[in-house]
Amino acid sequence: MGALFSVAEIRQAEQAAAAQLAPGTLMQRAGQVAARIAIDLLGETPAPPVLVLAGPGNNGGDALEVAANLAQAGVDVTVVHLACVGDPSAETAHALAKARASTAEFTDALPAGGPWALVVDGLFGIGLARPVQGEARAMIEAVNALDCPVLALDVPSGLDADSGAVIGPDGVAVRATHTVTFIGNKPGLHTFGGRDYAGEVLVARLGIAEDMLPGASVHLNEPHLFDLAFVARLHDSHKGSFGDVAVVGGARGMAGAPILAAKAALFSGAGRVYVASIDHGPAYDNAQPELMFRDAANHNFDGSTIVAGPGMGDSATAIRVLARALDGDSPLVLDADALNLIAASPDLQSRLSARHASSILTPHPLEAARLLGVTAGVIQGDRLEAAREIAARFDAYVVLKGSGTIIAMPDGEAAINPTGNPGLASAGTGDVLAGLCGSLMAQGWPARDAALAAVWMHGEAADRLVAQGAGPIGLTAGELPEAIRAVLNRMVAERPKRAGQPQS
């Protein structure tokens, strides 16, 4: 349903389909569907002027097909065409002749002024391998300064379709409001820079049969991936029915972090929630008196799902408590300082790798970089691969946080999360996510489903708060648990509808 494909997989499917079709068929189909989307975006009669940027390759050929189709529909079209150094492909040459034979106006330079009702970006597609320079770079910078919709063809020019990174250390990419991507959806449109550059993503299969695409190992994170784990509660239940969560953290000066995690666990349905403090912490939380406070060094964690790391610090006590948690048989969520301690200790890494119980790791990019011994830039350069490497190395489920959070499984499967907004870029929201992961596992959810659902609901709760006017600017972590509770209860109540089951 939400399958994502690498550039190599798309190329393979494209070649297989082209071998069965007349030359130029796929380019013509791409031009037709993109022109229809452009007309929908224009939404006015008579149609206002459209600027089409056509690059030297086949992505430029797609753009030329769009220009010809728009001109035929009566749209006022101006085309800037960057000719290739050598001979273009036969398909692109045909599209160029078709566009020149239409009423579209061609120009060698980006026209000054405007205003344009729409810009169609067909400068570079998924084959771009080096930073955009020269005239094309100037065009992208000028387009990014415009105040109008921008429709990118296949991928915004300058963006890596696999990773979501802008190509090159000093590269540029088109900031599109909409992207129509061809044959299959791509991971890079949904993570790292992808969500900022691609805008709304529309997928056009171009008539390619599903069996020409490989089985996807990466998907967009959607409720159908974890829906079976939502279960309505029985009347005949008690607090012991829903598990215990112990949040381990709270070194001196950081007592708030484990309380945020614990509150998330409580509001998402855990039966009993403990805060196990590394240093002398509060004995009582006036805002949430249901929470129970313990001394981490002396607390018995047997039977509890452990969330270790929020505000944990790096003391000798923290290391000893973490080692004990790693050696135990309890489901374990590792966040923040717990990840930093593990990254710095081969012994703790060995303990984590040797665990038989389920583990979920929730690093942000810098924590992930420490785990792999690289820089955060390397992590962000290929978030999907980094998350998979950590999952394989530690035989754990990994939640690599950030725009388009990656959820990676030990077997190589992965998902990219589409929910959430910039309001989550604030202190404590990661603690809330860790507490939510622990709560779902304590209630009996498999680690895979818990990780997928927690990330999706965490983002959905933030989106709900923004829709209600609470953010994204100024949204706080403390607002999330109640919103998560609302999302969770709605998901449980609506599951029979999603599954097509009769309502009770």
Binding residues for (6S)-NADPHX: 58-62, 125-131, 154, 257, 311, 364, 431
Query: What separation in angstroms does the CA of 297 have from each of 50, 251, 276, 321?
Result: 67, 12, 8, 6
Handedness of CA 251, 252, 254, 256 (dihedral sign): positive
> Shortest CA distance to 389 belongs to which of 404, 405, 374, 402?
374
Q: Does residue 126 contact residue 154 with C-beta atoms inside 8 Å?
A: yes
DSSP 8-state assignment for residue 240? G
| Closest to 70 (Cα-Cα) out of 107, 42, 90 | 42
Per the annotation, binding residues for K(+) are 59, 121, 157
* 186, 335, 473 from 485: Cα distances, Å: 32, 21, 22
Q: In terms of C-beta density within 10 A (0-12 exposed, 13-18 middle, 19 or more buried), how is residue 32 classed?
A: middle
Measure the CA–CA gap between 188 and 194, rounded to whole angstroms: 5
**CA triplet 497, 456, 158: central angle to 5 degrees?**
120
How crowded is residue 290: how many other Cβ atoms within 10 Å of its Cβ?
12
Tokens 């949040």 correspond to what residue?
247
Alpha helices in 204-335 (DSSP H): 256-267, 316-327
* 170 φ/ψ angles, rounded to the nearest 5 degrees: -125, 35
3-class secondary structure, 355: coil
DSSP state of 127: T
User: What span, in angstroms and rounded, lies between the C-alpha atoms of 23 and 368?
Assistant: 46
CA–CA gap between residue 397 and residue 402 (Å, rounded): 16
Helix and strand tally (H, E) in the chain? 16, 18
Are 480 and 458 in contact by the 8 Å Cβ rule? The answer is: yes
Binding annotation = 58-62, 121, 125-131, 154, 157, 257, 311, 364, 401-405, 430-431
